[in-house]
Structure 1
Amino acid sequence: MEISLWQIVLLTLYSVLTIYDNLNLKLELGKPLMAGCFAGIVMGDMTTGLAVGATLQLLILGVGSFGGASIPDYATAALIATPLAIITGQDMQFAIGLGVPIGLLMTQLDILARFSNVFLMKKAEKAWEREEYDKINMYTHLGMVSWGISRGLPVFLALYFGVDFVTMILSYSPEWLLNGLKVAGGLLPAVGISILLKYLPVKKFIPFLIIGFVLAAYLKLPMLGIALLGIAMSFISYQNSVKETVTVPTGNVTIGDDEDE
């Protein structure tokens, strides 16, 4: 299978759009799950796209770009790893093993893009001192250019030159390396879950974790069923917490038309 130019262009434009979405639209297009789904639709294999995107999504649960900090960009990784996995006929675990180093590399490009915007931000500060608010808006939007290039250029180059290159790499790659990438792809979602559990009150809700583990590992219940059961349990837990916090005032209550008397 080969990738067409229009597919490369769509995926590149999507990667640039995620920057605008983060600042203005707030449609969560920059989430790995959304990016993987879009890549799967464009490539005609939504199943692989959702699998790659959802797995990469697990890696950033509990991780946020607070204070402008740069974090691994697994959305861009999903836009690259999903098409390459579909083109080369590799499985999802290999796509994850390929997507993780791409996401980590994007951290460095994100830092470079933010650094290049310092000049524009200095211009915006001077415009604010002169109360030239139109220029502040202009400089802010110009900052998205370099930021968008830091995403769009890697996606375009990786997909445009990546077909033959990745095929050649796979043909010369030793079996132990490919197996290692697959094993790493299977273990990395557990790392994301571990990071999330570190910030959650696990000790308080350990019975619910055990129930979920039993349902998934022993009863083989689908994830949708486990999610619905989790929603029901969380609702029950919320109702019980409300009952514990509500206090009923005590006193003498007179029933009747006292005012008429």
Structure 2
Amino acid sequence: MDLAVWQIIILVILAFFSILDSLTLNIGCQYPVIIGTFTGLIMGDITLGLAIGATLQLMVLGVGTYGGASIPDFTTGAIVGTAFAAMSHQNAEFAIGIAVPVGLLMVQLDVLARFTNTFFLHRVDKNIAMNNIAGVRRNVLLGALPWGLSRAIPVFIMLVFGKKIVDFIVNEMPDWLMGGLKVSGGILPVVGIAILLRYLPTNKFVAYLIIGFVAAAYLKVPMLGVALIGLALAIIFFKQNFNKQVVLAGNSTTNMMGVENEDGEYED
């Protein structure tokens, strides 16, 4: 089974908007289970697409791009895997075997998209300095292009040239390029976390920050454990401050009303 031109066009458009949905739109198209189902509908096998998308969805539950981190894009993998499985009349296991390397490849392309997008970011800063609102709006919209094209172009190439191109890109990409992208991908989360800490009340809660760092870096506590420690500290902090506010509120009321005498009346 060969893909029709209209199927390739729709799948490329779907890949383009799926990453934009995860960044801004948030209408649900960033989830592999949704995109897999749509791809299955386009390919004429909605059951296969749903099975592939649901399997990939389980692989990304609880995973997010917080702090500028790049994660495997199994949404794009769901598109390619479902399309190849439907074309070759294979099962979901075959599709997952294709979708996983595609999702891992998207990590590197995600880093490239982030770097490319800085061009428009500098233009936004320049237009802000010039008080050019129209220019700011235009470059913000243009900034979506690197993100969308980082998914649309690979999907187009894969659908046109087939599975061999995926294996070639993954296996034959130069070590210097892969190494550089991995280093960049490791730096981006650190920069993102630093930006977050810049705007958070870090000085006030630096003790909690140290506890979380020690738990994660030295004690090797999993992220769920670190999150639970943070939750416990937040509960303790809330209770302490809530009780303090109640005491302060009570003292304030007493000072305003005076001291209660033996007859139950308040005296200044």
* Superposition TM-score tier, normalisation by shorter sequence: 0.5 to 0.7
* Backbone CA RMSD of aligned residues: 2.3
**1:49 to 2:69 alignment:** no
What residue in structure 1 maps to residue 249 of structure 2? none
Q: What TM-score comes out, normalization by structure 2 length?
A: 0.60
Which residue is equivalent to 1:37? Answer: 37
| Residue type of the alignment partner of 2:53 | G
Query: 2 CA distance for matches of 1:39 and 1:200?
Result: 37
Q: Corresponding residue for 2:27?
A: 27
Equivalent pair of 2:40/2:50 in contact (CA under 8 Å): yes
- CA distance in structure 1 between the aligned counterparts of 2:20 and 2:87, rounded to whole angstroms: 29
**Once the two structures are aligned, what percentage of the paired residues are identical?**
43
Show the 5 A alignment for 1:222-241: none
In 1, Cα distance between the equivalents of 2:119 and 2:3? 38
- The corresponding residue for 2:161 is 161
Relative contact order higher in (CA < 8 Å, ≥ 6 apart)? 1
Closer/same/farther in 2, CA of residues 134 and 19 from structure 1, 3 Å limit? farther
Q: State the distance in 1 between where 2:104 and 2:84 align.
A: 18
Alignment check: 8 A CA contact 1:73 1:103 kept? yes
Distance 1:62 1:153 in 2: 28
The structure with the larger Rg is 2
* In 2: Cα distance, 1:198 partner to 1:134 partner: 43
Partner of 1:199: 224
> C-alpha displacement at 1:87, in angstroms?
1.1
For residues 23-57 of structure 1, give each alpha carbon's deviation from its aligned partner in whole angstroms, at most 9, with x where no partner exists: 44210211111110110000010111001101111
How far apart are 1:198 and its partner, in Å?
6.0
Unaligned runs of at least 5 residues, structure 2: 169-221, 229-268
The 8 Å contact of residues 20 and 147 in structure 2, kept in 1 or not, is answered as no
The equivalent residue for 1:94 is: 94
C-alpha separation in 2, matches of 1:37 and 1:18: 13
| Structure 1 residue runs of 4 or more that deviate by more than 6 Å after TM superposition | none
Task: Report the counterpart of residue 12 of structure 1 in structure 2.
Answer: 12
Residue ranges of structure 1 left out of the alignment (5+ in a row): 170-196, 204-261
Q: Check if 1:137 corresponds to 2:137.
A: yes
Give the match's secondary structure for 1:117: helix
Tell me the equivalent position of 2:244. none
Contact 1:15 1:152 in 2 (8 A): yes
- Distance in 2 separating the partners of 1:29 and 1:200: 30
TM-score w.r.t. the length of structure 1 is 0.61
Conserved in 1, the CA contact under 8 Å of 2:72 and 2:104? yes
Tell me, in whole angstroms, the C-alpha distance in 2 between the residues paired with 1:23 and 1:198: 23
Within the alignment, does 1:77 sit opposite 2:77 as a pair? yes
User: Aligned AA for 1:112?
Assistant: L
